[in-house]
Amino acid sequence: MLHIAGMKLGKAVVYVRSKNGISQNQLARESDTNRGYIYKLENDKLSPTIGKLEELCEVLGVSVSSLVSIAEQQTDGTLPTVPEDDKKE
């Protein structure tokens, strides 16, 4: 599991993916992985490599730092937001 200061990035992936209307299958296909991998990632059952995390973020339309920020917001109980400059156009 990829935890950064207690954060669970998997839940941040779910949040951004859902907010952007991207299915697990679409995320898997566009990031050259499989749906099982995405499921495990979103449920904090595995840790992505930095390279895979960058690929996932590219498909999700956010930077890695924004994904970490969203995970931090979820951890501290505030409402997660996707920074305007990171939203897909």
Give residue 11's domain range. Answer: 3-80
Give the pLDDT confidence of 5-18 residue by residue, as tens digits: 445 788 899 999 99
Is the whole-model pTM more than 0.75? Answer: yes
Question: Count of H helices and E strands in the chain?
Answer: 5, 2
* CATH classification of the domain holding 28: 1.10.260.40
Residue with tokens 């599991």: 1
Cα dist. 3→30, 33, 77 in Å?
Answer: 24, 21, 16
pLDDT at 46: 87
Domain-embedded: residue 50: yes
* Token pair recorded at residue 77: 């109980």
Query: CA-CA distance, 34 to 41, in Å (whole number)?
Result: 11
Domain-embedded: residue 17: yes
Domain-embedded: residue 85: no
